[in-house]
Chains A and B, each alone.
Chain A
């Protein structure tokens, strides 16, 4: 059974470029989360969706970040324009419900030069 699938696994881009990260949650899960992990700040929740609806986006750093979930099987996190301080590992996770066990993908490592 496939877990949470993220793409790309690695992305290197230049400052100012648009970055799009993709996530396919586990089939049947109703909640989807985007996290950012850095050495300095640990694991930060950026946004989460329940039944495809954004519930809490208070963790989104600024207007350069946006996330969508057009259907139950796909979500994107977009950064436009990207900056070097956005360099991090971005994780997508899904769950049956917001408070339940989270199943994480393997992450997308973003490097902005």
Chain B
């Protein structure tokens, strides 16, 4: 019940494309869903996060879509750029109870020029 399943494992798009990364969770008590971005040689860093009271959140070119009934959420990157090439991790937690984050397996995104 603590698992977060992420797909695809890797993704290659052309500059300007819209890569979509999907995550599914089992625990309906999860109430906080962040995405982390990791560049080579660096630690992951928070990119954007959503809570289940909204179905979508946008920050710049990054959008999270959230489907509570399907227990799924996804990251969309609009007008992707080569600088977006990184590994992306979804995560989930029961924020209100103070539980730690559970991470997905990660998606390696490559944006070709």
Contact = CB atoms under 8 A, between A and B. Distances in A.
A25 interface: no
Contacts of B110: none
Interface residues of A, number: 22
A97 B101 contact: no
Interface centre among B94, B100, B103 (most CB of A within 10 A): B100
User: Looking at chain B, what size class is its interface with the partner chain?
Assistant: 20 to 34
A33 B100 contact: yes
A107 B43 contact: yes
Interface string B22-54: 000000000010101000011111100100000
Contacts of A105: 43
Given A104-B43, A106-B42, A42 B100 contact: no
Contact of A91 (B34, B43, B93): B43
Given A98-B100, A101-B34, A42 B42 contact: no
Contacts of B103: 42-43, 45
Contacts of A100: 95
Nearest to B104: A42
Interface string A58-97: 0000000000000000000000000000000001010001
Contacts of A56: 100
Contact of A43 (B41, B46, B98, B106): B106
Interface of A: 4, 31, 33, 42-43, 45, 48, 55-56, 91, 93, 97-107
